[in-house]
Amino acid sequence: MKDRLIQFPVTKNVLCIACTCVLFTFLVALTHVNYCYAIEYLNYTNDKYKVQFQYPAGSILIDQIPPVMAVSSNSTNETFAINYVFDFSVPEWFGTADLQLATTKDFEIARAESEYPVLEYMSPWFTNFHGHKAGTYTLTTKGSDYDKEKIFKMQAWLINIGPHGYYILYDTERTVFDSPEGIESRNHFINSIKFLE
């Protein structure tokens, strides 16, 4: 009887701990699964620059500096930007209408002229972007104007549509960039872009 009285509280504590662990695991999984459903997106259309995209509600939309349309999220420190490029071949942009040369040139300039140490990068590769050929690359740097120790990662896309095109940028902390949430956010933004030709 004495043994049973001693064992009962131990068994009860073990059950409580086990139930708590199961409940915690369930809540974490539920939060992760519902992440993409918890975000509300707003639509943005710019007829002048012939582009449409979605961005998270609560973000700051900046489109007062033509031809730049940018979205900044304070909660995740993500920045999305779309620049309308009137003509790829003008010297102010890439100096060539050749997408491969333009992407390579932009990548080399971004790497060489970065204000902060470049830790790693992925050289340009080429892909299909909603039916248009696109060049893209990534760059990881240490530091910013606000925090010299944080590590940031960005990805740029160049899309040439006739003489004009778009320069798209996604920039955030590396931990956000590589996280499931960052990948989901980036993919949603990229997949929501429509060119209004």
Q: How far is CA 4 from CA 12, 69, 149, in A?
A: 12, 71, 57
Residue 172 token pair = 């955030």
Class of domain 40-195 as given by CATH: alpha beta
Contacts of residue 111, Cβ cutoff 8 Å, sequence gap at least 6: 118, 121, 139
> Are the CB atoms for 137 and 158 separated by under 8 Å?
no
The per-residue pLDDT for 183 is: 93
* Residue 180 backbone dihedrals phi, psi, to 5 degrees: -55, -40
For 124-149, write each residue's pLDDT tens digit: 999 999 889 999 999 999 987 777 88
Cα gap 15→7, rounded to integer Å? 12
Domain boundaries, the chain: 1-33, 40-195
**pTM for this model (two decimals):** 0.77
Please state, for a pLDDT cut of 90, what percent of the chain lies above it: 55
For 84-132, write each residue's pLDDT tens digit: 999 988 888 888 989 999 999 999 999 999 999 999 999 999 999 988 9
Between residues 68 and 1, the one the model is more confident about = 68
* Residue 11 backbone dihedrals phi, psi, to 5 degrees: -60, -40
